[in-house]
Amino acid sequence: MAAYRYPRPPASEITPRGLYEQRRTFMKGLGSALFAGALPGSVLFTSASSAASLETERRAFSTDESKTPIEAIKSYNNFYEFGTGKDDPKKHAHQLRTDPWSVQIEGEVEKPGEVTVDELISRYTLEERIYRLRCVEGWSMVIPWVGFPLKALLESVKPLSSAKYVAFETLHDPEQMPGQRRDIIDWPYFEGLRMDEAVHPLTILAVGLYGEVLPNQNGAPIRLVVPWKYGFKSIKSIVRIRLQEERPVSSWEARRPNEYGFYANVNPNVRHPRWHQATERRIGEDRRRRTEMFNGYEEEVAHLYEGMDLEKHF
C-alpha cells in the first residue's frame, strides 16, 4: 500500500478549536467523575440505571491490581514511529498533530466512510477499563484506559458476512514520526484481529488514560487495546480500519515471523528467541512475577481458541 498522510476531513467536518478544547477539559475531569453518576451535558450516562450497569461491566472486566503510576505509563513506551528507546516516544511524540484526526473505515461493510475522533467520542459511551498490558520483552503495566468497545463501531458500519478479519493501520508521516525514517519495519504499521476477537467485549478503542486525553506517546488520539495479547497488537494512532475476508499480515509478523505470530496471545509456554516469556517484570516492582495465560484473561477468552494448537498458532 502506498504511503500517505492521515486522511483529513473536509473543512465542514473539522471540529472547531473551542469544542476540541472542551473535549480536553471534559477528559481531564473524567477520572474523578467516571461511574460516580451522571455528568451534566456529558455523553457518559443517561440514567442512574445505565451508570450502574456500566459500573458492573467495568468491575467484571477490570483488574483490581495496583495501577502503574501515570508518569511511568507516559515515559516507558514502545512506539517505534518515534524511536526504539523506551524514552524516545516521550521525547519526540509532541511533534504529532492530533487535531483534527479522522479514521477511514472501509472494506466488507455496508456503510464505509470517514469519522473524526471527536465524533466517535460524542457518539459512544466512554468507560474506564483497568487492564493489564504485557509486552513481549518481558515487562508489564496496569493501565486505566478510557474508551469504548470496538464492537460498537463495527456494528455501526454493518459488516458483510464476508468480513472475517479486521485490519488496522497507523499514520504514516515521517515528518511527524521520525522513527519512520529508519528501516525498522515496512511502514506504515499494520495489525489485525479475527472478527470474533475484534467484537469481544474486552477489546476497546482507547481515547484516554487515567481520565486524561490519551498522551501522544501512548497512541493518541485513538488506539486499540486488546488486553489478552502482547502489546504490539494494540496498534496506536489509528487512521484506517478495514474489514476483509482474507487474514491480514501484521507488521511484526511480516518482519520476523519466527518471533511474532499473528495471534500474539500472551502464552508463557511459547518461547521467544530473545525474551523470556514465563515471567515478567511489572514496571515499578523489583521482583519478577509469573506470566499468566492470556495475560490473566483466560476465563474470558479461552473459548475463542478451542481446538487450536496455541504453540503452533502463536
* pLDDT class of 276 with cuts at 50, 70, 90: confident
pLDDT on residue 3: 37
pLDDT on residue 61: 79
Tens of pLDDT, residues 220-237: 999 999 999 999 999 999
Q: Is residue 13 part of a domain?
A: no
CB 153 within 8 A of CB 242: no
Span 45-65, mean pLDDT? 57
What single letter denotes the amino acid at residue 176?
Q
Q: Is residue 11 part of a domain?
A: no
Q: Is residue 312 part of a domain?
A: no
Q: Is residue 6 part of a domain?
A: no
Q: Is residue 309 part of a domain?
A: no
Question: What's 271's domain CATH number?
Answer: 3.90.420.10
Q: What is the domain range of residue 68? A: 19-304
Span 125-151, mean pLDDT? 97
How many independent structural domains does the chain possess?
1
pTM summary value:
0.85
- Residues above pLDDT 70, as percent of the chain: 81
pLDDT on residue 157: 98
Tens of pLDDT, residues 24-49: 554 554 544 443 332 222 333 233 44
